[in-house]
Structure formats: structure tokens, C-alpha cells
Amino acid sequence: MEHKAPIPESGASSASATAQVPIWLKVIYTAFVCVLVPYYWKAYGPVNFLYFCDVALLVTLPALWLENRMLVSVQAVAILLPQMIWVFDFVCTLVFGQGPVGMTAYMFDEKLPLFVRGLSSFHGWMPFLLVYLVWKLGYDRRAFVIQSACGVALLLGCYFFTPMPPAPVSDPNAAVNINYVFGLSYTEPQHWMAPGLWLTMLIVVFPTVFYLPAHLALSKLFASARRAQSAQSAVPASSVETQHPAPAVGEEA
């Protein structure tokens, strides 16, 4: 008697079985981005999407559908610590009425439409989403080097090709001083040091103060999960043997 192993199903059912990120999360995230992008483009201009947080928002969209570990890891390194500062300031403002940095005061400004503040809420939930995705997909240790190179390139691009503060009177909502390459104010450039020295400081600070700690934390937190995934995927199919019952006496095998 011949025994045949079951043939695995192919197509959509097989793909859904291997998907690690829920489809509902992908759909909701896609819808959010589709609403935010045209509004931000019209309200603030296309250069607004050069902010590190906006780059992460856009890059995470294909990373989510492709379930790409490298893209997710790079964006987690890029914004995890800066956006946690945003979260801390938001919580302090919510509880005490004022945050230590003041960067989220606009979220409590009733003059701003709730719709606009709702779109900006991605600054708060984006780091948690990326940590969840790293937990599901694993952490790619190349992320630190890749993001350091991309981050420096983006800072240089913003310094040489995006507008200095303040915003023009004709378009007061236009994005200026992208990624703080001209100082911490949106009304005027910084005067503490030479502009080139300020830029050099940012080029040093972002990789060492923001990217490296995030890289080390993610590497440590998700190393065991990655090893478990690697060990599971390394098990050869031949190791699973199909046992066949011995033919009975007089029965033709």
C-alpha cells in the first residue's frame, strides 16, 4: 500500500498562512497615509515629507505590506528615541498642563481642528507600531549603519535645499527648518554658532545620541526572538519523517 504525504496548499491561502502582520493593520495604516499625504502636501508643501518622522511614515507603508525586516528596522532606529521624546512631552502636557519641551502644545490647541491634530497623532503611536513590527518580523542589525548614512544624507539635503526660517508671509504654514538644520526655532535661524558647525553637531548627535542607543536596545530585546525564528526556519524538511505502518502478513507492500 502506497502512502503519500499531503500536498501543501498554494496560492492565497498559503501566503496568508505565512503573513506575520494582520491584514486589518495594513489596511488601516494605508488608509491613514492616503488621508494624511494629500492634506500635508497642500497645507505644508512637499518638503514637509523630509522630516525624519514623515519619512518613517511613508517608508513603513511598503515595509508593512512586504513585511520587510530591514526597512522596518531602519525606521525604528531612525525615530524611536526622538518620537519617544514627543510621547513624553505629550503625556506631561496632558497630565500637568505643560510639557518639558513644549513640542506638543499644539495638540491641545482648540483653535486647531481636531482633524489636523488627529493626523499629527502618528508622532505618538508610530514608535510603538515600529517596535511591534520589529517584534513580529525581527531586527536587522544592518539598520544602524544604513540609517546613519541615510540620516546624514538627509540632513545635508535639508541644509542645502530646503528653506530657512521663517516661513514666508504669503504662506505662513509652509514647512521650514526641516529636521532643525538651522536651529531649534521656526521663526529664525540659530545664532549660537556658525551654521556649518551647527550642522556638523547634528551629523554627530543623530547617530550617536539617537540611533546607536535605539540600535543597541532593539538588538538586545529582539535577539532571542530572531534566533528562534532563524532556528525554526533552518530545520530541514527531510528531518520530518513520514512513518509508514508495516504491511500485514500476506499483504502486498
- Mean pLDDT for 135-141 is 95
Q: Which amino acid is at 115?
A: F
Determine the pLDDT at residue 234.
59
Q: Give yes or no for residue 196 having a pLDDT over 70.
A: yes
Collect all residues with Cβ–Cβ distance below 8 Å to 78 and sequence separation of at least 6.
Answer: 52, 55, 56, 147, 150, 151, 211
Residue 18 pLDDT class (50, 70, 90 cuts): confident
DSSP type of residue 181? T
Residue-wise pLDDT tens digits, 49-94: 999 999 999 999 999 999 999 999 999 999 999 999 999 999 999 9
Q: Give yes or no for residue 11 having a pLDDT over 70.
A: no
Residue 167 pLDDT class (50, 70, 90 cuts): very high
Residue 245 pLDDT class (50, 70, 90 cuts): low
Q: What is the mean pLDDT of the chain?
A: 87
- Mean pLDDT for 2-8 is 47
Report if pTM > 0.85. no
Q: Using alpha carbons, select from 212, 76, 96 the residue that is nearest to residue 140.
A: 76
Residue 182 CB-density burial (10 A; 0-12 exposed, 13-18 middle, 19+ buried)? buried
Determine the pLDDT at residue 236.
55
Determine the pLDDT at residue 16.
42
